A = this chain, B = another copy of it.
Amino acid sequence: MKQQKRQLDGQPEPTKSELEILQVLWQKGPSTVRTVNDTLNEEMRDVNYTSTLKLMQIMLDKGLLLRAIEGKNHIYRPAEQQEIMQTRVIKGLATLAFGGSPASLVMRVLGNGDTSPEELEEIKRMIEQLEKQK
């Protein structure tokens, strides 16, 4: 009777390991545990297959993932769009470390210097777009 806690109160907040898995799924689209696990091991760090499996089952339980059953395999996919989830975790971090101000978070990233000139241009264009819509 505690299993569904996250589903009920507010939106589910993925943990760090959960974010890693979500990122793989966003990249590759719906995938089996095997695929996710292989990707994690290639691109990030050593994880045991059953650890990934267990975590994905927990995420299913929390409502972070959905799955379809195809024969013997299970195919998982994120329950939320990447955009929505990214926005959610950013807001969480802004609250925690930036006095709740996403804008100051942006300033910090930009001030940090590893944004390329092309990216800066792109961001500027986006701002101009936003200002037009106003």
Contact = CB atoms under 8 A, between A and B. Distances in A.
A51 to B, nearest CB: 17
A115 B103 contact: yes
Interface stretch (A16-24, A34-42, A54-62, A69-77): A16-24
A123 to B, nearest CB: 6
Sorting the interface of chain A by its residue count into under 10, 10 to 19, 20 to 34 or 35 or more gives 35 or more
Contacts of A96: 16, 19-20, 23
A124 interface: yes
A19 B99 CA distance: 11
A112 interface: yes
A47 interface: no
Most buried by B among A83, A112, A117, A128: A112
Contact of A107 (B19, B108, B122): B122
Contacts of A89: 93, 97
Contact of A97 (B23, B114, B131): B23
